[in-house]
Structure 1
Amino acid sequence: MTEPTASPAPPLSATPRTTLGRKKDRAGTDRACLHEVLDAGLICHLGLVLDGHPQVLPTGYGRDGDVLYLHGSSGARSMLAAGEEPEVCVTVTLLDAVVYSRTLNDHSMNYRSAVIYGRPRPVVDPAEKEHALRVLSDHLAPGSWDHARVPNAKELAAVTVLALPLDEASVKARTGPPTDDPAELSSPAWAGLLPLHSRWGTPVPAPDLAADIPVPPHIADRRI
């Protein structure tokens, strides 16, 4: 019996803003590439214009399908402005290695990055807002929604949640060794990769935590 052929991932949007001008061979071409970068990152940078001035702010996020949820204090002017501005730009960057070449001009980095353009929508429906916060929690602190107390009505009112569609986005990545000019291969300078690995450390309990409360599996297992 022949196994069914998996459907290819839908392509990313191709707009003037998401079409790479240089190094086009590094572009991701489908939504699976975009989802992979977003799911591997934890912090995005939200770019917007506030009071006529550009601002870029680090922000926690979570992805649900082709929607990116962002959150912040209901008193944060950046969150309010992001929901009113015509458009914002959100970026996520993952650094995998520093690339050492035989010439400084050819030094580089191995990385994965995503850039998203769009108009965020304030999430006002209580059910969707709670869902969005669970998506954020499951991304940043998996397992916490079912372990700790969930937000009450007052806490929900103190949080602004924005929904940004992933309709217009680009992905770019570099992998592999240095690409020195053949004329430089006889150089005595070292060439190669210095990988960068991010990993969780040992959980540190709060000073006022009861001594008989163990580290729950959803936290302990993240070290694996």
Structure 2
Amino acid sequence: MTDLSSTERTRHRRFSEKGRTDRAALHEVLRAGFVCHLGVVVDGVPMVVPTVYGFDVDHLYVHGSVASRSMTGGGPTGRRPTAEMGTVCVTVTHVDGLVLARSVFEHGVNYRSAMIYSEPRRLEGEEKLEGLRILTEQAAPGQWDYARRPSRKELAATTVLAIPLAEASVKVSSGPPDDGDGPDAELGLWAGVLPLATTWLPPVPDPLLPEGTALPGHIAGRAGTPLT
């Protein structure tokens, strides 16, 4: 597994000890979720949009309406070629807990995060369909083979972007407060970590679902399991 890129945009400056340099760490962060924030510049103004993603070894995939300005970089027609979008920035963050110290100044968050810079490429044909499959399976494994596939009309109304993972940065913060051996330790206050976990709850059926429609195993099996 190769190391992550080290550019002026991805080099770890502050708290560099939290940085991760191997590509496996990037894949681990991406594997743990399915929502990212896509940052683009539209008409000279930054726009940051939360969106579902999927990924493979080399690319992260996002999708949206063909009319979405975040998918095209804006422009009068909303159909600007991706080459004119320039560089986008994608972030993924997982919060694992609050770090509650003896002083407010030392409070913090335990987290895993990734930041990706790249110029996206719009997918067409079979590549577009494969990108949508990866997106679907990232959020709901097994759903691509269970549900109806997109129609030609639906595909025509959808933009799928492939964002290379060539330039990326990863940071991970974990552990207790770091003021236990300082002057504030004499205050007699509780300090520690308040962990946070996200868990899938039991599925809720559509009210219009015909009685007796079976719950598929790939959905039923997720109830009670952690997201990350």
Pair in the same fold by TM > 0.5? yes
After the TM superposition, list the runs of 4 or more consecutive aligned residues in structure 1 that deviate by more than 2 angstroms: none
Q: CA offsets, 1:14-54, max 9 Å, x none?
A: 10110111111000110000000011021100111101111
Tell me the distance in 1 between the aligned counterparts of 2:156 and 2:206: 27
Name the residue aligned to 1:19. 11
Which position in structure 2 is the counterpart of 1:5? Answer: none
Q: How many pairs are equivalent?
A: 215
Q: Report sequence identity in percent.
A: 52
Equivalent residue for 2:23? 31
Q: So what's the TM-score if we normalise by structure 2? A: 0.92
Deviation at 1:204, TM superposition (A): 0.7
The residue aligned with 2:119 is: 119
RMSD of aligned Cα (Å): 1.1
Distance 1:33 1:22 in 2: 19
- SS for the counterpart of 1:185 is helix
1:156 deviation in Å? 0.7
**1:132-211 to 2 correspondences below 5 Å:** 132-180=131-179, 181-211=181-211
The Cα offsets for residues 122-143 of structure 1, whole Å up to 9 and x where unpaired, read as 112x111111100000001211
Q: Deviations over 1:60-103 (max 9, x none)?
A: 11001110011001111211118231100000000000000011
What secondary structure sits across from 2:144 in the alignment?
coil
Q: Please name the residue that 1:43 is paired with.
A: 35
Alignment match, 2:216: 216
Pick from 48, 52, 56 the counterpart of residue 56 of structure 1: 48
Counterpart amino acid of 2:207?
P
CA distance in 1, matches of 2:17, 2:70: 35
Once residues 132 and 176 of structure 1 are traced to their aligned partners in structure 2, the CA distance between those partners, rounded to angstroms, is: 36
- After TM superposition, give the deviation of residue 182 of structure 1 in Å: 2.1
3-state DSSP of counterpart to 2:222 = helix
Deviations 1:191-220 (A, max 9, x none): 000000101111111111011112111111
Aligned counterpart, 1:76: 68
**1:88 matched residue in structure 2:** 88
Residue 78 of structure 2 is matched in structure 1 by none
The CA distance in 2 between the partners of 1:99 and 1:16, in whole Å, is 30
Question: What secondary structure, in the 3-state scheme, does the structure 2 residue paired with 1:145 have?
Answer: helix
SS in 2 for 1:95: strand
2:32 and 2:49 mapped to 1: Cα distance?
19
CA distance in 1, matches of 2:211, 2:17: 55
- The one-letter amino acid of 2:120's match is P
What are structure 1's unaligned runs of at least 5 residues? 1-8
**Retained in 1: the 8 A contact 2:43–2:73?**
no
> TM-score scaled to structure 1, two decimals?
0.93
Structure 2 residue identity aligned to 1:161: V
Whole-angstrom CA distance in 1 between matches of 2:63 and 2:197: 27
Aligned partner of 1:103 in structure 2 is 103
